[in-house]
Structure 1
Amino acid sequence: MTTSPNTSVLAIDGGGTRCRCALERSDGRIVVETGSANAYTDFDGTIHQLQNGIRSLAEQANTPIETLCDLPAFVGLAGVTGDAVVARLTAALPLRNVRYADDRLAAARGALGRDDGVIAHCGTGSFFAAQINGNTRFAGGWGAILGDEASAQWIGRKALTRILRHVDGFDQSSALSDEILARFKTAHAIVVFARTAKPAELGALAPLVTKHAETGDPIAMAILQSGADHIATDLRQMGWALGVGICLTGGIGQHYAPYLSDDMKDALTQPLGTPLDGAISLARDMELIDGHF
């Protein structure tokens, strides 16, 4: 992904699992990582993570925070749902030449650049994007209660639901259900956990599902097939057709590849870059137009 080497820029990519802050300058890139950041579900915690990230970045770069905060900056965060959240972020953070957006924009730019393609981004949460003939469309990203199909937290929630169906006698046991029940001990403990679990905590169960799916566990495979079906249906409805590349991104995305139809498997392509690369590219856009949109 091409960027101008002449001006330093600040970029932040924050999601439900981690927040990455980067300073890109002529002599290279400095990156620091902090904890999860979702401006909708935990605004105060997100501000804390961003402040820590900016402070650490300034220290590692041996640059005053005031200088850092004057740079062109793009901040892509989970949970930026509208102008009200942007106003709160603007008031709470010291960045003075910044564009705030949800994390979908940086992920799409990072994966596709400016090329045609579609994305199923499945991290702690999920969203879908189609960039075709110069038009970009996003779908999903509505959070754990109303959406995030095929995300890591969705997988975790589905796994717990299937284990409770096994407890009720509707589903056969499997290695996955045995391992989860051994971890929680009782069905009641599962219910108590799920009542207050954050998306990242539910998402932490997803590696168990993908691990057991690789060994043919029927419950794990059924969950991943259901997620792949969501991906296929949504991408087709968003305009995917033969000849358009598909990127599966996020920590869980690639695990759906074996469950897609053959025509979609043939269309799979590697992303051009990461969401952090995308955030840096978007910060460069601000540099080129002097911070005005």
Structure 2
Amino acid sequence: MIESHDSAVLAVDGGGTRCRVACEIDGAVHCSETGAANVSTDFDGALKQIRAGLDALSRQVEIKVEDMIGWPAFIGLAGVTDAGIAGRLSDALGLTNARVEDDRPAAVRGALGAQDGLVAHCGTGSFIAVQADGAMRFAGGWGSVLGDEASAQWVGRRALSEALCAYDGTQIGTRLTQSLLTDMGGPAGIVRFAKNASPAQFGALAPQVTSEAKEGDRVAVQILQAGSDYIVEIANGLGWQPGRTICLTGGIAGHYATYLPDNMRSAVRPPLGEPLTGALALAKEIRNEHL
């Protein structure tokens, strides 16, 4: 049994795929993992997953949940869009010393640590963030309908659109566009698919695009160049400065590196850690504020 937990902190990193609940006690990290936790799309379901993670963590470290929820905590969850939903979640969990935010700050702190730099996260969804002098600025992350440019779902959706343009004769036909038209059953099949496809289903087409781009397919290259151009535009708008680290996180982000300008490509570095690492670091900041 762990006896001393005066310096303990609690962290949650939850998204559309999984929820990870962790604590750090005297330098030792303990973690449990449960299912998806997005508080906007399914508040009760997310709450259930967090509670299950807390219960599992409690058994692991042999400390009661009611004791752990009083520790300094950072809760980073997909779907925390305003203070109202953050407060609702904090009240439901009984948290007394916690910051509840969306999942982006933890991802940035995990990737960059305390150093200045930029994170371009492009998974199924996307966001871009700059960290400078300890402050973070964000752009994107508004979902597949209104944003998520350069994400995997954006790449897949863009590829289908270009395939339709190739069918119309307003875009060049390539192996990518022809394969999509054939696989989907022609233009009508593409329209039927797109009508009900989820972001994940659009995103599942992205590997085909990145693979064809490596072979020089002109349409595939155009799509990845457009995604890269978006990253450059937003990075400059957020104030990224040459020489500062760039971390490309998420399943498709690394494929944009080749298309970045030289001053950005030379700044690309692997992320220092995972979002959960960042969440724990942010929880420690909360603890230190009260020392």
TM-score for the superposition, normalised by structure 1: 0.85
Q: Distance in 2 between matches of 1:105 and 1:115?
A: 14
User: Which one-letter code corresponds to 1:109 in the other structure?
Assistant: R
How far off its partner does 1:223 sit? 1.4
**Matched-pair contact (CA < 8 Å) for 2:105–2:136:** no
Aligned residues: CA RMSD: 2.7
**Matched-pair contact (CA < 8 Å) for 1:158–1:223:** yes
How far off its partner does 1:290 sit? 3.8
Q: Quote the residue 1:144 is aligned against.
A: 144
How far off its partner does 1:235 sit? 0.8
User: Which one-letter code corresponds to 1:111 in the other structure?
Assistant: A
Q: Distance in 2 between matches of 1:258 and 1:265?
A: 7
How far off its partner does 1:230 sit? 0.2
Q: Distance in 2 between matches of 1:70 and 1:44?
A: 22
How far off its partner does 1:119 sit? 1.9
Max Rg structure: 2
**Matched-pair contact (CA < 8 Å) for 2:73–2:98:** yes
Distance 1:290 1:259, change over 3 A: same
Distance 1:101 1:169, change over 3 A: same
Bigger mean CA deviation after superposition, 231-240 or 40-49:
40-49
Distance 1:71 1:172, change over 3 A: same
Q: Deviations over 1:97-122 (max 9, x none)?
A: 32111112111211222222122122
Q: Deviations over 1:171-208 (max 9, x none)?
A: 44444345545554454444344334333333333233
User: Which one-letter code corresponds to 1:207 in the other structure?
Assistant: P
The count of corresponding residues between Structure 1 and Structure 2 is 287
Where do residues 203-214 of structure 1 align in structure 2 (5 Å cutoff)?
203-214=203-214
How far off its partner does 1:134 sit? 4.7
User: Which one-letter code corresponds to 2:111 in the other structure?
Assistant: A
Bigger mean CA deviation after superposition, 137-146 or 206-215:
206-215
Q: Which stretches in structure 2 are left out of the alignment for 5+ residues?
A: none
**Matched-pair contact (CA < 8 Å) for 2:124–2:153:** yes
User: Which one-letter code corresponds to 1:255 in the other structure?
Assistant: H
State the SS of the aligned residue for 1:267: coil
Bigger mean CA deviation after superposition, 36-45 or 146-155:
36-45
Where do residues 1-293 of structure 1 align in structure 2 (5 Å cutoff)?
7-26=7-26, 28-181=28-181, 183-290=183-290
Distance 1:256 1:67, change over 3 A: same
Q: Distance in 2 between matches of 1:200 and 1:267?
A: 30
Q: Which stretches in structure 1 are left out of the alignment for 5+ residues?
A: none
Q: Distance in 1 between matches of 2:125 and 2:197?
A: 14
Q: Deviations over 1:43-86 (max 9, x none)?
A: 34433433333333334444433333333221112221111221
TM-score for the superposition, normalised by structure 2: 0.85
**Matched-pair contact (CA < 8 Å) for 1:111–1:271:** yes
Percentage identity across aligned positions? 50
How far off its partner does 1:239 sit? 1.7
Distance 1:92 1:209, change over 3 A: farther
How far off its partner does 1:265 sit? 0.9
Bigger mean CA deviation after superposition, 255-264 or 83-92:
83-92
**Matched-pair contact (CA < 8 Å) for 1:16–1:124:** no
**Matched-pair contact (CA < 8 Å) for 1:16–1:125:** no
User: Which one-letter code corresponds to 2:128 in the other structure?
Assistant: F
**Matched-pair contact (CA < 8 Å) for 1:16–1:200:** no
How far off its partner does 1:142 sit? 1.8
State the SS of the aligned residue for 2:266: helix
Q: Distance in 2 between matches of 1:253 and 1:100?
A: 27
